[in-house]
C-alpha cells in the first residue's frame, strides 16, 4: 500500500498557489500518473490522500500544519474542493490507463472521530450527525455517496454565507459533470480513527467566517491524544499513562490495539461490514507535526539521542506480532495471558 500525498507538497507548487489553486488538480494527476507507471507493477493498493481534512483545516484553516495558512472560512473549503477533484481525476486516470495492466485498487484515507451526542436530546443527536457530515461527509459524500457535498453542509454554509453578506455560498459547488465523475470514484475507503468526541448543539452567535462556526455545535470533550469520550464504544487510551509506558512495557498501547481490533471484528461479524484490513499507527516513534518527538506512538521505541536512532521493540510489538500471527483472537489467549507469558 502506497500513499501518494501525505502533506508533502513541493515548495515550488506552493509558491504557485498550492491547493488553493485549481491548477494543482492537473499537477497532482501528472504526479500520480508517473507513480502509477513507475511502480504500478509492485503496488496493489494506492491511497491518493492521507487525511484530506488535516490538509484542509489544519494546514489552510487554522494553519498549525504546513503550509501554515490561516483562512478558516473560505480557503479551507477551496482546498478541500481541489483535493476531492484531484483524487477523482487520479482515480479515473488509473482506471482508464493502468487498471488492465496492473489490476490495482485506488482509494482515499479519511480521518474521523466517533461523534456521540452529549445528551439524549434530539438537538444533540442531530448535532452529532451534523458533525460527522461536516468532517467525514465533507470528503466522503462526494466520492462514496451522491457525488455532492452533504445536504446539511450545503444548507448550513449557504445560510451562514448569506447572513455574512456573501452573494454565494463559501462552499464551492460541483458541476453536474463533476458530480457524475465524483460518484463511485473509489475501490476502497481508508479510515483513520484514534479517539472520540461528545457533541452538543450550539447555535454559535459568532459572525466570523469560520468552518467551525458554520456547524452550530460544540465539541465537549478533550480532543488530544487520550481517548476522550469514555462512554463511547471506541474510546480507549492512545497515549501513555506512566513513566515506563514511554519505554518498553507499554500495556495501555496493548489494550488500545486489542480494543480497536476487537471493534473491527464486531464490525465484520455483527454489522456485516466489508473490512479488508487494519494497519497500526505507528511502526516506530516518529515526528508529529505539532508535538515533535514528544508523543511516543510506535510499536518500536526510537532512541533519538543515539546518532544511529536505535530501535527497540516495545511489549506492544510482540503483542501485535502475535495478533497478526493468530489472525485475530484465539480463545484463552487474552491480554492477561499474553502478559503472563512475557514474565
3-class SS of residue 149:
coil
Answer yes or no: are the C-beta atoms of 314 and 300 closer than 8 Å.
Answer: yes
- Give me the half-sphere count of Cα atoms (radius 13 Å) on the Cβ side of residue 157: 24
Nearest-angstrom CA–CA distance, 91 and 86: 8
**178 an active-site residue?**
no
Answer yes or no: are the C-beta atoms of 149 and 141 closer than 8 Å.
Answer: yes
Element holding 256 (H helix, E strand)? helix 251-269
Short-list 109, 108, 79, CA closest to 91: 108
**123 an active-site residue?**
no
List all residues 6 or more positions away from 196 whose beta carbon is below 8 Å from its beta carbon. 113, 114, 115, 116, 221, 227, 228, 229, 232, 234, 235
How crowded is residue 257: how many other Cβ atoms within 10 Å of its Cβ? 19
Nearest-angstrom CA–CA distance, 317 and 64: 31
Set 116, 159, 245, 276: catalytic member: 245
What are the CA-CA distances from residue 304 to residues 16, 286, 296, 299, 315 (Å)? 36, 10, 11, 15, 19
3-class SS of residue 15:
coil
Set 51, 113, 116, 212: catalytic member: 51
* DSSP classification of residue 5: E
- Give me the half-sphere count of Cα atoms (radius 13 Å) on the Cβ side of residue 163: 13
List all residues 6 or more positions away from 205 whose beta carbon is below 8 Å from its beta carbon. none
Write 171-176 long-range contacts (CB < 8 A, 24+).
171/77, 172/77, 172/78, 172/81, 174/142, 174/147, 174/148, 174/149
| Active site (catalytic) residues | 51, 245
Amino acid at each position: 500500500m502506497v500513499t501518494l500525498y501525505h502533506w508533502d507538497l513541493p515548495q515550488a507548487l506552493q509558491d504557485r498557489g498550492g491547493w488553493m489553486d485549481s491548477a494543482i488538480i492537473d499537477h497532482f494527476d501528472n504526479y500520480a500518473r508517473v507513480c502509477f507507471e513507475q511502480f504500478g507493477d509492485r503496488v496493489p493498493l494506492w491511497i491518493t490522500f492521507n487525511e484530506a481534512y488535516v490538509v484542509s483545516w489544519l494546514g489552510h484553516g487554522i494553519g498549525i500544519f504546513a503550509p501554515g495558512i490561516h483562512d478558516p472560512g473560505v480557503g479551507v473549503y477551496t482546498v478541500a474542493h481541489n483535493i476531492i477533484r484531484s483524487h477523482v481525476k487520479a482515480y479515473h486516470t488509473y482506471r482508464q490507463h493502468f487498471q488492465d495492466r496492473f489490476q490495482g485498487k485506488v482509494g482515499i484515507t479519511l480521518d474521523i472521530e466517533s461523534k456521540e451526542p452529549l445528551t439524549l436530546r434530539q438537538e444533540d443527536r442531530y448535532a452529532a450527525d451534523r458533525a460527522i457530515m461536516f468532517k467525514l461527509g465533507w470528503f466522503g459524500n462526494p466520492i462514496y455517496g451522491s457525488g455532492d457535498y452533504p445536504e446539511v453542509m450545503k444548507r448550513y454554509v449557504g445560510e451562514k454565507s448569506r447572513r455574512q453578506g456573501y452573494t454565494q455560498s463559501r462552499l464551492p459547488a460541483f458541476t453536474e459533470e463533476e458530480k457524475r465523475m465524483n460518484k463511485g470514484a473509489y475501490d476502497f475507503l481508508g479510515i483513520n480513527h484514534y479517539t472520540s468526541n461528545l457533541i452538543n448543539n450550539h447555535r454559535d452567535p459568532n459572525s466570523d467566517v469560520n468552518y467551525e462556526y458554520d456547524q452550530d455545535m460544540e465539541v465537549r470533550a478533550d480532543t488530544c491524544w487520550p481517548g476522550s469520550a469514555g462512554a463511547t464504544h471506541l474510546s480507549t487510551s492512545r497515549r501513555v499513562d506512566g513513566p515506563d509506558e514511554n519505554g518498553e512495557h507499554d500495556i495501555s498501547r496493548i489494550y488500545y490495539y486489542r480494543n480497536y481490533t476487537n471493534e473491527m471484528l464486531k464490525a465484520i461479524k455483527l454489522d456485516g461490514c466489508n473490512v479488508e484490513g487494519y494497519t497500526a499507527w505507528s511502526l516506530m516513534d516518529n515526528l508529529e507535526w505539532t508535538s515533535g518527538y514528544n508523543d511516543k506512538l510506535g510499536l518500536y521505541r526510537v532512541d533519538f539521542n543515539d546518532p544511529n536512532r536505535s530501535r527497540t521493540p516495545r511489549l506492544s510489538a510482540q503483542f501485535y506480532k502475535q495478533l497478526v500471527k493468530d489472525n485475530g483472537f484465539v480463545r484463552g489467549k487474552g491480554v492477561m495471558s499474553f502478559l503472563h507469558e512475557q514474565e
